[in-house]
């Protein structure tokens, strides 16, 4: 397969009147498929063997399921040929980035990707391309980071790969340097983290406040940056731990490792005076991505942030594609989207609306890479 990754070349041979919307069948794919069907698109679920059942059972929203031995097989010549025959556009989610891999996505996947595929790599915390760089370019406040654990001088949150669940993170909080080394040793002993992963860990200042995942959409067709929805994570076993009384928490801490494994999301709103700040940082982030990887962000992105007691905003994580919490609004539509369109629209449907508009305005090559 010799198709160039130039947008015009990627779309060569495609029939815009019969596009399919494809996604790796994980993460927020149900929202993508549901929204695509609402806009009249054919949908393709890229499934991994053993994880395909939901996408076969929700028959209304999945027209075709391609079941592969491994997710990364979607870059194989046979699957690529099938996707191109179906006029497929891939909507990237976190599973697409993790399982297929940045190098393959950027250099050797000749299928149109909705959005800027070169920005997916910036979700990492290490390497030349990382989200700290984007936030600094945008002038957005983020937590202070520490290269050397012995430099820790305040409470920190440590983010490193989970020892067993490698696509998850083995987060832990340490109140000072000594506490860091003590907890690292205990979590290593318990099989939660591996010491050799410390070189790639992110050690961040612990900022205490209210957590929000703010879901934005940069529209090329409308020329605007929209704030569509806000959600909040549910994490296990942290969620169950926080539901207990303080005396039980203190007892359990002696035998229980609290983990921050994301398991769900819930919709939230934010105080209206904060919307000014959210629009400011959303716009600034988009401008930074334009400088870092032209043409910058296209379509959905999420800024995960904390609002401090002083009503300051600190961004602690970034998603340069559809966020993990948009399924919270699937089938309902998100609260702020109604203020743009006069009806609630989910992120999945907003993506499909943008694709539909660019088919009509002949600007498909401006929203895919």
Using one digit for the tens of pLDDT, what is the confidence trace for 27-64?
Answer: 999 999 999 999 999 999 999 999 999 999 999 999 99
Report, as an integer, the average pLDDT of 119-127.
Answer: 93
For the beta carbon of residue 9, count every other beta carbon within 10 angstroms.
Answer: 14
Question: Which is higher by pLDDT, 1 or 215?
Answer: 215
Specify which residues 335 forms β-bridges with.
Answer: none
CATH 3.40.50.20 fits domain 7-114? yes
Tell me what the pLDDT averaged over the chain comes to: 94
Helix (H) or strand (E) holding 219: strand 210-219
State whether residue 292 is helix, strand or coil: helix
**What pLDDT does 205 receive?**
96
For 127-174, what is each residue's pLDDT tens digit? 899 999 999 999 999 999 999 999 999 999 998 877 776 555 668 899
Q: What is the mean pLDDT of residues 215-237?
A: 96
Report the alpha-carbon angle 114-120-125, nearest 5.
160
- Please compute the mean of the pLDDT values over residues 175-194 and round it to a whole number: 90
- Confidence check: pLDDT of 192 > 90: no
For residue 165, the model assigns a pLDDT of 63
CA distances 24 to 21, 54, 204, Å, are 11, 13, 31
Give the pLDDT score at 219.
Answer: 98
pLDDT band of 272, cuts 50, 70, 90 = very high
Task: Give the C-alpha separation, 29 to 146, whole Å.
Answer: 35
Tell me if 184 sits within 8 A of 193, measured CB to CB.
yes
- For 268, counting Cβ atoms within 10 Å of its Cβ (0-12 exposed, 13-18 middle, 19+ buried), the class is middle
Instruction: Indicate whether this model's pTM tops 0.85.
Output: yes
Beta bridge partners of 66: 46
The answer to whether 206 touches 157, Cβ cutoff 8 Å, is yes
6 pLDDT exceeds 70?
yes
pLDDT above 70: residue 96:
yes
Give the gyration radius of the chain's Cα atoms: 21
pLDDT (average), residues 237-259 = 90
What's the fold here for domain 145-205?
A: Dna Ligase; domain 1 (3.30.1490)
- CATH no. of 131-140+209-357: 3.30.470.20
What separation in angstroms does the CA of 137 have from each of 66, 140, 225? 40, 8, 18
199 pLDDT tier (thresholds 50, 70, 90) = confident
Cα 23 to its chain centre, rounded Å, is 13
Q: In what order do the strands lie in the sheet with 88-90?
A: 64-68, 42-48, 20-24, 88-90
Residues of the chain with CATH 3.40.50.20: 7-114
Compute the distance between CA of residue 83 and CA of residue 110 in angstroms, rounded to an integer. Answer: 10
- pLDDT tens digits, 54-79: 999 999 999 999 999 999 999 999 99
Domain limits, CATH 3.30.470.20, in the chain: 131-140+209-357
- The mean-pLDDT minimum among 87-91, 182-186, 188-192 falls in 188-192
- pLDDT of 1 higher than 70: no
Residue with tokens 């920005």: 119
Distance CA 150, CA 217 (A): 40
- Measured CA distances, 236 to 168, 169, 252 (Å): 12, 12, 15
Q: What is the structure's pLDDT at 2? A: 44
């Amino acid at each position: 397969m010799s198709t160039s990754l130039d947008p015009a070349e990627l779309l060569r041979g495609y029939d815009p009147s019969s596009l399919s919307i494809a996604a790796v069948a994980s993460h927020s794919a149900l929202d993508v498929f549901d929204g695509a069907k609402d806009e009249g698109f054919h949908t393709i679920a890229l499934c991994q063997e053993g994880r395909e059942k939901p996408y076969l059972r929700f028959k209304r929203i999945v027209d075709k399921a391609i079941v592969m031995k491994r997710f990364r097989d979607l870059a194989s010549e046979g699957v690529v040929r099938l996707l191109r025959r179906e006029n497929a556009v891939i909507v990237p989610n976190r599973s697409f980035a993790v399982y297929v891999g940045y190098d393959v996505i950027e250099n050797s996947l000749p299928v149109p990707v909705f959005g800027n595929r070169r920005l997916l790599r910036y979700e990492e915390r290490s390497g030349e391309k990382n989200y700290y760089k984007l936030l600094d370019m945008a002038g957005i406040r983020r937590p202070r980071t520490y290269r050397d654990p012995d430099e820790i001088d305040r409470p920190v949150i440590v983010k490193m790969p989970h020892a067993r669940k490698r696509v998850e993170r083995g987060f832990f909080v340490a109140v000072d340097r000594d506490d860091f080394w003590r907890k690292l040793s205990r979590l290593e002993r318990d099989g939660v983290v591996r010491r050799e992963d410390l070189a790639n860990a992110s050690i961040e200042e612990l900022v205490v406040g209210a957590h929000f995942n703010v879901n934005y959409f940069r529209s090329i067709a409308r020329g605007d940056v929209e704030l569509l929805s806000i959600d909040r994570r549910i994490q296990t076993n942290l969620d169950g731990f926080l539901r207990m009384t303080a005396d039980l928490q203190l007892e359990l801490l002696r035998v229980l490792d609290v983990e921050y494994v994301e398991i769900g999301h819930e919709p939230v709103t934010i105080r209206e005076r904060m919307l000014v700040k959210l629009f400011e940082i959303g716009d600034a982030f988009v401008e930074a991505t334009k400088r870092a990887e032209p043409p910058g962000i296209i379509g959905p992105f999420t800024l995960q942030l904390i609002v401090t007691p002083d009503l300051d905003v600190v961004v602690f994580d970034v998603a340069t594609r559809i966020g993990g919490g948009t399924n919270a609004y699937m089938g309902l539509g998100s609260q702020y989207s109604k203020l743009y369109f006069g009806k609630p629209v989910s992120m999945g449907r907003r993506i499909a609306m943008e694709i539909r508009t660019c088919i009509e305005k002949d600007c498909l090559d401006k929203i895919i890479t």
